[in-house]
Amino acid sequence: MGINDRRPILDFTEDEWDHILQVNLSTLFGVAQAAGRYMVAQGSGRILALSSVSGLLAHHSHGPYAASKGGVNQLLRVMAREWAEAGVTVNALAPGYIETPLTAGELAKPGKRASLEGMVPAGRLGTPDEVTGPALFLSSRHAGFITGHVMYIDGGRTLV
């Protein structure tokens, strides 16, 4: 989950900044903390957050979104460290350019799709279905020894 507003940083008000961080980062904190309390008490569990390649890369006009997703990445690491002994894993998926309602408006702009595809070594955008398998894996018993990990699902975008 997340919201983005693609504008230069100088164009944001403090309230607009706060809103994006509230939705993308603070909501995760509240939900994961509540789930973490339950999972730590029971001695097992899986928490899977949704991040983005924007939490690593410095995309133009993604300031608050990138900051919130970078915060997601660090928050999950701290949770993973604190809850690992209790058998709780905390990981994140960080999709790259995936065709979703969040990206539809941007992809509709002339030349934008070709430009984005050109930045992805795989030469295409991802689909929501390609995020499902990694989500199922990290949520399964097979991932019981994986914690604090951000899995990039990006066709190689973070390699370049």
Contact in structure between 113 and 119 (CB atoms under 8 Å) = no
∠ Cα 31 54 28 (to 5°): 5
Catalytic residue among 38, 65, 97, 152: 65
Tell me whether residue 65 is one of the annotated catalytic residues: yes
57 CB-near residues (< 8 Å, 6+ apart) = 66, 157, 158
Instruction: Show which residues are catalytic.
Output: 65
